[in-house]
Amino acid sequence: MTPTQTLTTPFVEHRKPGARPEGAGWNGFLLVVTALLVAGFFQAHPPEFTGLLGKNLYKPGDKLGYNLGLAGGLMMLIMLLYSLRKRAGFMKGRGILPTWFRWHMVFGIMGPTLIMFHSTFNMHSINAGVALVCTMLVSGSGIFGRFFYTKIHNGLYGRQITLKGMHENLERTGSFKRSFIGSAPHIAARLEQFRIRSEQTQGRFRDFLSIELQAAFLSRSLRKELHQVMYAQVRARKWDTGFIKPALDKQYEEYAAQIHTYIKAMRDTSQFRTYEKLFSWWHIFHIPLVYMLVLTGIYHVIAVHMY
């Protein structure tokens, strides 16, 4: 395999130069929210070794605390409009669904965050504690649901993927293997072995984690092996490595990216049915939690204003 060989067209991701990877903004948002929650918790409950006493800057019933709870509760209610947009006939056509879904997730994180600050990270009564626990369960469940969702859709806001589409992507990303047959047949053979293995394990829960670990190990080991093969051939031919190195490095990066993309496609195809099942089971678990949240939230608001 030399830098002068003709390569098949690599599979590349069509994204504007300099564009952020999808999900980068969401991950940054989660990091900021997590940092705020950690800071708020340790403000109210400092570790014992610091010798500091927990101090609340306000109470849940104060103007600030009350408004934080009100804003958080309203966000949780607005979050539920996404379900109406998906299922209620009178809501059809009112805005595009991906935008509704985006705000559903944002409010699903911001609402519980404000409610945590409203509570001052304490359970002041039984009804408040139950409402707070339900809020945290719904929010945490939603994060898991988002993860499963992205595994069976084209990105966070794309259409649902089909198994046929997964196989088409697999064929497209695997077309580069012909380049390895002559120069590095063992690499092509190991990729083919993994392809057969991944097809045999499609939809099997017992192999779900093992195929993930195998894909990660194979991707790392084959890229390392590829590097050794390519540079060993150059040294064996006693070429001027200083002159040819930039072109060799570029070709190695292309092949390494193709290997990684192909292994990832095989892994995703193998796990697709399992993620479909997990997403379906998650729905069964998540919906009752939402009803519990609404009922406990209403009861908490009534109890606060009555007593």
pLDDT tens digits, one per residue of 267-288: 888 888 888 888 888 888 888 8
Low-confidence residues of the chain, pLDDT below 50?
1-20, 156
Contact 272, 166 (CB under 8 A): yes
3 is a domain residue: no
Tokens standing for 30?
């989660």
139 in the same domain as 172:
no
The verdict on 85 and 149 lying in the same domain is: yes
Kindly state whether residues 129 and 225 are assigned to the same domain. Answer: no
Phi, psi angles (nearest 5°) of residue 153: -130, 160
Per-residue model confidence (pLDDT) at position 174: 60
For the chain, the domain total comes to 2
Q: Please give the pLDDT value at position 277.
A: 87
Q: Are 49 and 120 members of one domain?
A: yes
User: What residue numbers bound the domain in which 187 lies?
Assistant: 163-272
The pLDDT, as a whole number, for residue 71 is: 92
pTM for the model: 0.64
Query: Which letter, b or e, does each residue of 88-99 get, where b requires 16 or more Cβ atoms within 10 Å of its Cβ?
Result: eeeeeeeeeeee
Whether residue 8 lies inside any domain: the answer is: no
Query: Domain check: are 43 and 116 in the same one?
Result: yes
Residues 261 and 204 in one domain: yes
3-state helix, strand, coil in the chain (%, to 5): 75, 0, 25
The whole-number pLDDT of residue 86 equals 78
pLDDT at 217: 93
